[in-house]
Structure 1
Amino acid sequence: ILTAAFMNLKQTEIHMVKQDTGVKTVNVGDSVILHCYPESQVAMHFSWYRQSIGGRPELLSNVYKYDTPARMFHWLEKNPRFSVQRQEGMNHLHISGVQPDDSGFYFCGISHSNMVEFGEGVFLSNKSSECHQLSAVVQEPVSESTQPGKSVTFNCSVKTGNCNAECGVYWFKRASHQGIVYIHSDQCKHAPPSASSSQSCVYHLEKTNVSSSDAGTYYCAVASCGAIMFGNGTKLQINDDGNPATAIKILVWLSIIRTGTLLLFLTVLPKIRCRKKKKKKKKKKKKNIYIYMYFCTLQVKYMFKGE
């Protein structure tokens, strides 16, 4: 009982796809390799997907375990800048002559039977010498603590230079058990020009009726000219100590542990005591036969005297 109770206290997640994560920045015209190390022995298909900011995921490549070379899909089929290096335990994506349109999230995936699993994803950002309009992305507050059912607001201040190009502002969340998750987007509307050389605008992300699943670090990101700049992040902590549901769970687990401990003492200790009594009665001259029957903690003894 105790073993079954403690097994449910913590669930261990095993990720079968290890790939580059975070943000990888390269110069326009350079080459880059996005690494992926599948650890599954039963996977049959290995793929790469790309998701441009604000767009839908698109399939770049799909490799059958025993296929060679890799089959490219969509417009990549005739694009020599993209290639896949596929070996046992390896599924790397090569991009040569990086272009501004190549920026976005890249996900490495595997599939077998009816199961599909992806890596955490990596964002490919490129820098161009002709674009320098992003100067700073500042988030406030650095951390926020609240209780379930409350509301919280994140602030993001974006400072830009003298650039008329439109930029996209996005919010991402990183939790302890998952990678970056895209949760919200908005279009940047520049504030009226001022005497200073830079412009500034503030964005807000409001979350209402928060729960424990909303805990994590929220990042504001600004994308422009194929590059992306992340803010310092705001860590959201959910204090659910006063939540009645949490208190009930704690009481239930304490009750299970107490019951298991009680049963352990009531079933093991009587057996030890009875064994000691048996040894003492064997020393008597009369031959007595004892039959013990146990029903939980109830002991019934029948005694038959031998001739």
Structure 2
Amino acid sequence: MKDISQPNPMISADVGDNVTLHCYRLQADKSGSIVWYKQNAGEKPRVMVTVQHDISYEDEFKPPKFSIEEDQRNGHLKIANVETSDEAMYYCGYRKFLTRFGNGTYLSVRGDEDVKVSVFQSSVSDSVPAGASVTLQCSVLSESRAAELQVLWFRAAPSQSHPQLIYTHHNSSLQCESESSKHTCVYNLSKNIFSLNDTGTYYCAVVLCGKIIFGKGTRVQREKFERSVNPVVIVLAVALGVCVLVICALIFQIKRNYEKSTVKLKQDKRLNQDCDQNVELNYAALHFTKKRTTRGRGKTQQTEDIIYSDVRRLPVT
């Protein structure tokens, strides 16, 4: 899990501007320290300031030029009166036993008096649906001939540690108009937006005399899911709905058959019980008379034996 977030991969500023480079602490643990580093092209990173209980600035990075905007969890770096020498990559790190770095923020400084070039871009592009094409426009105003300019396009996204070079314009003089000492060039970049990997901030940049001059960037974003639904998703959703209906119908049929069989079993059981209860028993007594002779009297005495028998009568249905 990351401990530090630097949401802005690139910031453009003019000479004399005040800028803030954001650094967010993602963990609630504040026992570690926040450390800012500056890395110029071709050089090693240098420690600028350390933020823990106190703020400790290195000698060449002291206030009021550099300062920390500190709150309970975060430590943002503020740079006042930006100069061309401030153009560099700035890293925020979280130090606790080990140092974990953010993706870094590149500060691009415009307005060098020796290079009379201005780059203009629209700040935000309209949201586009997946698969659609967007055309980005960049206007370059310079006092140098267009043939001397090299125009580049970069894409920056929060998931990337550095802006990515995606296109270089060639034969730039064919897209320029000259009026006296001013040269105006318009550059267009067409880009298909297939996925979130194609979104982000697109920067137009001019390379002149060993310096890169960036525009403010154009942010490209996709339309929300509700407004651009993939047809495959629709087909899968319909198929899922049909499957659910079929399963419900089968469950209903099985339940219905089970109820019918249960009712029949109850009826058969009740019928058998009724048969047993409606059996009528009639008892008849059969008399058998025996003659026995008594001595001395000459008289015959009859004895009687009684045997009971039953007759069962079933009810007539």
Using the size of structure 2 for normalisation, the TM-score is 0.48
State TM-score, norm by structure 1.
0.49
Q: Which has the larger radius of gyration?
A: 2
